[in-house]
């Protein structure tokens, strides 16, 4: 049975899970939408903004921001949608800076054994000038429908750039799946065209604010997202944000200890509840 893990759940719980699952897949009617959400609890705590931010998890969101990573690093991320394990996303990534730029690889997995979505990616980023950096990523998507229902797959790419307008102001933009495809077997196999543009402004060493607009070809409206981060001695980080399309409010906290960076966040949907997220990044400093 497709949802066999529900057999020991009370009837009311089964209905609740199915309603949430249907809402998710109707709001995001195409496969891999869960995997397209920004990764990393830092971004999650800042209203799920990502396009003008920089750092490790830019491997998933705007690869241009990877160019500022200086050390060989590895990270893991776990997000649980509305407190339900079967709706969780697990991510792992590594970044390797070289004299030619920053190389990266990532794996994202949503779901459980009888239904899952997986994304495998290879990324590259570098500076094109002192103020301009760019990145690209090749993505392979695979969707499994259980032991006897087969799977779908797709190959695409994404591009991103960031430009430092001034010392404190950065403009960022990215596109996902920019080349249309016409050979889909059914709608669940299709990937959306997504583009984002935004800015990040550093008011001081302690305060960073960002705002961005996202457009998904399969959704009717633009989404406006905004977030803020306040740091103390570049060691403790407090974050908050909001987003209009999903009517969300976010909050997060980060802690940096030498080579280890720990972030936690909660994305609060006004109807469906809380989605906690945690991520760890370790820099080897080789």
Residue 102 confidence (pLDDT):
97
List, in order of start, the domains of the chain with CATH numbers.
Answer: 13-283 (2.40.160.60)
CA dihedral 82, 195, 154, 190 (to 10 degrees): 80
Residue 180 confidence (pLDDT):
67
Residue 254 confidence (pLDDT):
96
- The string of pLDDT tens digits covering residues 138-181 is 999 988 876 666 677 889 999 999 999 999 999 999 999 988 66
- The string of pLDDT tens digits covering residues 62-118 is 999 999 999 999 999 999 887 777 788 999 999 999 999 999 999 999 887 778 889
Note if the pTM is more than 0.85.
no
């Amino acid at each position: 049975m497709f949802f066999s893990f529900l057999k020991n759940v009370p009837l009311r719980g089964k209905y609740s899970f199915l309603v949430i699952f249907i809402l998710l897949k109707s709001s995001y009617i195409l496969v891999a939408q869960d995997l397209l959400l920004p990764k990393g609890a830092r971004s999650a705590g800042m209203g799920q903004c990502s396009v003008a931010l920089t750092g490790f998890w830019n491997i998933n969101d705007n690869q241009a921001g990877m160019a500022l990573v200086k050390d060989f690093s590895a990270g893991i991320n776990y997000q649980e949608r509305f407190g339900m394990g079967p709706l969780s996303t697990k991510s792992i990534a590594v970044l390797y800076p070289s004299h030619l730029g920053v190389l990266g690889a990532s794996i994202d997995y949503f779901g459980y054994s009888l239904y899952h979505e997986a994304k495998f990616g290879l990324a590259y980023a570098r500076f094109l000038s002192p103020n301009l950096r760019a990145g690209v990523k090749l993505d392979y998507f695979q969707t499994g429908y259980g032991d006897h229902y087969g799977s779908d797959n797709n190959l695409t790419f994404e591009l991103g750039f960031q430009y430092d307008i001034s010392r404190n102001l950065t403009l960022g933009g990215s596109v996902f799946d920019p080349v249309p495809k016409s050979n889909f077997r059914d709608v669940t196999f299709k990937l959306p065209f997504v583009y984002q543009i935004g800015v990040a402004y550093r008011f001081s060493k302690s305060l960073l604010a960002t705002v961005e607009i996202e457009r998904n070809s399969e959704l009717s409206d633009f989404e406006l997202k905004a977030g803020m981060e306040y740091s103390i001695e570049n060691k403790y980080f407090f974050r908050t944000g909001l987003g209009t399309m999903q009517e969300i409010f976010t909050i997060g906290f980060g802690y940096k200890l030498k080579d280890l960076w720990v972030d936690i966040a909660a994305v609060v949907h006004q109807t469906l509840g809380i989605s906690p997220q945690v991520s760890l990044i370790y820099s080897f400093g080789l």
